[in-house]
Homo-oligomer: A and B are copies of this chain.
């Protein structure tokens, strides 16, 4: 199991290749290892809260993190998800501002916090690190735009199917007949937040999909008889 309370080492981290820190040398990695704080997080814990002072960036080793934005009325919207290998909180760091979003752990996992000062130092000495963050922010922008467009033009049902397929991409165990099984990483409430609707609506949609035979649900366990069929019932963006 990858989750434990041991301090993880960046030098041997298998996720590193897909992170912004991929190209660092051994000395820099040692620096990271010395000055980082890492630990296991349980679902529901908060990495940082919107409006808080930025105290570094968080590199996700395992689990799943939701990035939420809330307004004064207490309305909270899940704007994006961050997966293992992603670093979050870099934005307010680069802007030298307070955190713009809140980061909440959706699925328990291990996360490393890298101290402000270290990131600054590395950024100053490694120009390509900045470039990596640029690339990341461009991807985040594209992703957010996509979610924005979908929330306007797709009905809730299509959005549910879409996220189902995304989760299946990451977590699904495909059968050889085009079917697939997976366990949803989140409860209904979070699923609703991701899709941008209410738990009640999710419930009804799930029932409908079940009746149509497109998917079978048992709690968080999902069985998809034909992934292709799900794909076909999507508006197909872009």
A122 on interface, CB distance cutoff 8 Å: no
Q: Is A187 on the interface with B (CB-CB < 8 A)?
A: no
In the complex, identify which listed stretch (A27-35, A41-49, A81-89, A148-156) lies at the interface while the others stay far away. Answer: A148-156
- Taking CB atoms, residues of chain B closer than 8 Å to A238 are 71-72
Residue pair A134, B94 in contact (C-beta under 8 Å):
yes
- What is the bound-complex CA distance between A201 and B153, given in angstroms? 17
What 1/0 mask marks residues of chain A from 132 to 155 whose CB sits below 8 Å from any chain B CB?
011101101110110111011100
Question: Are A73 and B153 in contact, with the CB atoms below 8 A?
Answer: yes
The interface centre, meaning the residue of A72, A95, A138 with most chain B CB atoms within 10 A of its CB, is A138
**A137 neighbours in B (Cβ, 8 Å):** 134, 137-138, 141
A145 B145 Cβ-Cβ under 8 A: no
Q: Chain B nearest CB: distance from A49 CB in Å?
A: 13
Interface centre among A75, A100, A142, A237 (most CB of B within 10 A): A142
Contact between chains at A72 and B145 (CB < 8 Å): no
A159 within 8 A of B: no
Q: Within 8 Å CB of A153, what residues of B?
A: 71, 73, 75, 77
Q: Assuming the A-B contacts A69-B149, A152-B151, are A91 and B236 also in contact, with contact meaning beta carbons closer than 8 angstroms in the complex?
A: no
Are A145 and B142 in contact (CB-based, < 8 A)?
no
A135 CA to B95 CA, complexed, in Å: 7
A79 beta carbon closer than 8 Å to chain B? yes
A interface with B by C-beta (< 8 Å) = 69, 71-73, 75, 77, 79, 91, 94-95, 100-101, 127, 130-131, 133-135, 137-138, 140-142, 144-145, 147-149, 151-153, 196, 235-238
Could you pull out 22 A-B pairs where Cβ atoms are within 8 angstroms?
Answer: A69-B145, A71-B153, A71-B237, A71-B238, A72-B235, A72-B238, A91-B138, A94-B134, A94-B135, A95-B135, A100-B142, A130-B134, A137-B137, A137-B138, A140-B141, A141-B141, A141-B144, A144-B144, A147-B148, A148-B148, A148-B151, A151-B151
